[in-house]
Amino acid sequence: MSENKIHIYRYQPILADTVIYWSLTFVLFFASMIGLLEEQGKINVFSIVTFLLFLLFFYLGTRRKLILTQDQIKVTAVLKKNEYTIDIDNINKVLVGKYGFTLVTNQGQKSYLMLSSSKLKCIKLLEQSNKLDCVINGYKKGVDD
């Protein structure tokens, strides 16, 4: 990994949390559209408020980032209280799956869903890190590599 370089990747939490979050977010969008249709196309306060709530939750959902530095991984979340950092030398195992990867540490395991290109870049940077002293399982296992 290059010295003092920060790499930022977008992620989603485990699949169940992602499906629930985005389903509830788009319920707000559909509620605002239903509000417009109920008033025969007239813009009303209910539609405006629910559409603004949809935009707020959409923005918050896209703010999730995994920031990889030379020494640690900082994970930002929708809520500030859910943000945390993982020291790279504390990672015991990296499990790579089809849609993301899981980091296993002494405190537990954390899973991240990513686009395949971002996932591959992040795993390659972790593999190049001289602070990571564990095996990356499942990497270079797929057909598309």
Average confidence score pLDDT of the chain = 86
pLDDT value, residue 58: 95
The residue among 4 and 109 whose pLDDT is bigger is 109
Asked if residue 142 has pLDDT above 50, the reply is: no
Asked if residue 53 has pLDDT above 90, the reply is: yes
pLDDT value, residue 145: 41
CA–CA distance, 122 with 116 (Å, rounded to integer):
10
How does pLDDT run across 75-100, given as a tens digit for each residue? 998 888 889 999 998 899 999 988 89
pLDDT value, residue 19: 92
How does pLDDT run across 27-50, given as a tens digit for each residue? 999 999 998 888 776 788 999 999
List CB contacts of 130: < 8 A, sequence separation 6 or more: 1
Q: Which domain CATH number covers 103? A: 2.30.29.30
Domain count, the chain: 1
With 0.85 as the threshold, say if the pTM is over it.
no
| Res. 143 pLDDT band, cuts 50 70 90 | very low
Amino acid at site 100: G
Asked if residue 60 has pLDDT above 60, the reply is: yes
Asked if residue 59 has pLDDT above 90, the reply is: yes
Comparing C-alpha atoms, which of 41, 42, 68 is closest to residue 124?
68
What does the chain look like in DSSP terms, one character per residue? --TT--EEEE-B--HHHHHHHHHHHHHHHHHHHHHHHHTTT---HHHHHHHHHHHHHHHHHT--EEEE-SSEEEEE-SSGGG-EEEEGGGEEEEEE-SSEEEEEETTEEEEEE--HHHHHHHHHHHHH-SS--S-EETTT-STT-
Residues spanned by the domain of 141: 1-145
